[in-house]
Amino acid sequence: MSDASNEEKIIDLTSPEYYINRELSHLQFNIRVLEQALDESHPLLDRLFFLCIFSKNLDEFYEVRVANLTQQLTFAREQAGADGMHPQQVLSEIHTVCSATVDRQYHILNDTILPQLAQENIHFLRRADWSEPQREWVRAYFEESVQPLVSPIGLDPSHPFPRLVNKSLNFIVALEGKDAFGRETGMAIIPAPRSLPRIVRIPDELTTGGDHFIFLSSIIHEYADDLFPGMSVKGCYQFRVTRNADLDIDHEDTADLASALEDELHSRNFGEEMRLEVADNCPEDLANFLLQQFNLEQNDLYRVNGPVNLSRMMEVIGQINRPDLQYPPFTPGLPKHIKFNKSIFESLREKDVLLLHPFESFTPVVDLLREAAKDPHVRAIKQTLYRTGAKSEIVNALVDAARNGKEVTVVIELRARFDEEENLYLANRLQEAGAVVVYGVVGYKTHAKMMLIVRKEGDRYKRYVHLGTGNYHAGNARAYTDYSFMTCDDSIGEDVHKVFQQLTGMGEALRVKKLFHAPFTLHKKLIEMIDRERAHAEDGKPALIRMKANGLTEPKVIRALYKASQAGVAVELIIRGMCCLRPGIPGVSENIRVRSVIGRFLEHSRVYYFLNNGKDEIYAASADLMERNLLNRVETAFPVESNKLKERMKSELEVYMRDNCQAWDLQPDGSYLRAQPAAEEEVVKAQAILLETLASAS
């Protein structure tokens, strides 16, 4: 037996030392997003956007991930992952990392972004910087737009601490004196009106040119005295609380998922408190008072030097007409045979279509559905919807199809996190148009992206299919990288038909020919293909695995990749976010390379490639390499079999592996190092290359 085989036998691949904690890995992704705010290869307003996205991501991290860990402790349901860390350890480490990173975020804002914006004549004015005409205008704005909507709340036995909405802007006020009833409360809360913008543009005629903004918080600070007539405001400090926003629905006791979800949505604004942000100049006693009211500890307190609701600064980007400070627009590409054919059906009968958004247009997907809605030969349309958008062209086409007498069946995933309310609205709209709407399978989110069109052609029915790695959301298709695949392949059409049967009907799992689908075959097939590659390497044949996904956390997949590496398989992983695998460990993962690409567009496509001894196979999928996707969701992975399309996808994966500007390489200790071109090395930016290759300048 070889030394390698002996070593493989000795090494316990289930040992926690070979796994990175998923929550801490998630934080590392957020940190990489924040670092984009300092990257001067991005235009300035896009750097501000990345700074705001970091805040938005961190909010969701606390609303969902930290909330989950806290609940495990509260209900004594602690679950250590493959990394072996106890939830209490993870929460402690999260606090340490987040404290340092949030401080860094505000330093970037105050020391870099705001000064550079000011150099471009874009100003966020402090109260001390208001000119007299500006001060008069702000005074009028306060009296006309703010004061009528504000309801200050004095704190006393008859006015207990109010129940404040998740992530809402509020102020704690220290008061002196007696009110009209002779009360000396000493303290009050001012909830900022939720209907008002958090950032207000000063009229151009009151400035010397450029763009000038003030924060709503500055206006309320300035005129807080007016809200407490006859009393003296000794201090006014902004704060914000983040709550558990994950919905908790008991599927076993729920007869009507839609009704249960509607009831639960309201409670999202008032879940258990997870984090408190306060202005850094807030006195200790007031901060401690807030912590006590929210039942939080010192570790849950974040003092910030700037707006507590920093993500709302994103609002101003659309108000600034400075194309020189943003990425230039572009026109997504279109395959020639689609561009010049009158009918999408005709195009698909000629050959399969593969699109990589946003470099290539999402329009053909919408056009396929629009054409189907009007085509008298189309008899039925089936569609899954996960995140779609309130003003969706896809939904408009489905409504038209139902009204035109087509048999329209839509599987809507009501539990798509933070899109539940929108999806309820879409479900009602489709039902009113005559579509059959179902909510998938209880206990399994429907995350697969599928469209099936049944068309009568001659004396037979022909199936046309769209399968994707991303959502049916035109906005996402302009910002996320995702594959769309359209075909009229009979076997794939039959497979998609069977998956829809399982979703809408009942019965045993149906055997499909070409697709892999979770929760039935996808996990098993992925491990089989990894093991097959390992067997080729053990036989001395070339072996290569390339996988691209948003997350890699599933322990059995990780162990299979470790074994493949031990056998000599070259494993190249492009994992945007969470990755629990540790690359580069001698004897375990020295043949594994993991990188994350963060750029102008959000990397979202999922692709699995296997060399397979020269008979290479490539699949695109809706599923990430995570437990929830592979074991607890309805997902699909579909083969791309055309040699031309396979070569194209292989080259697109390869360019991500060659990126030396926007790629970050995962180290064995869980940290990431940004790739940098050597002195004489060609500069490679994957997204820029794909944009140049597949799209055209606007």
d(CA 123, CA 203): 13
Look up tokens 């990489």; give the residue: 32
Cα-based angle 58, 420, 516 (whole degrees, multiple of 5): 90
CA 562 to chain centre: 28
Tokens standing for residue 693: 């290759």
d(CA 565, CA 583): 10
User: Which of the residues 447, 473, 523, 536 is marked catalytic?
Assistant: 447
Q: Tell whether omega for the bond before 358 is within 30 degrees of 0, i.e. cis.
A: yes
Contact indicator for 373, 400 with CB cutoff of 8 Å: yes
CB atoms within 10 A of CB 251: 12
Give the type of residue at 155: L
Rg of the chain (C-alpha set): 28
b/e 213-241 (16+ beta carbons within 10 angstroms → b): bbbbbbbbbbbbebbbeebebebbbbbbb
536 is catalytic: no
Token pair listed for 441 = 């399978």
Residues 28, 32, 34: CA angle, nearest 5 degrees: 115
Element (H, E) at 213: strand 211-215
Rounded (5°) CA angle 581-587-592: 40
Q: Report how far residue 359's alpha carbon sits from residue 482's, in angstroms, rounded to the nearest whole number.
A: 9
Residue 426 CA to residue 357 CA, distance in Å, equals 24
**Cα–Cα distance measured from residue 25 to residue 230, given in angstroms and rounded to the nearest whole number:** 53
- 3 state DSSP class of 277: strand
Element housing 267 (H / E): helix 257-267
φ, ψ dihedrals at 374, nearest 5°: -100, -20
User: Given its phi and psi angles, is residue 458 left (phi above 0), alpha (psi -120 to 50 degrees) or beta?
Assistant: left
- Active-site amino acid positions: 447
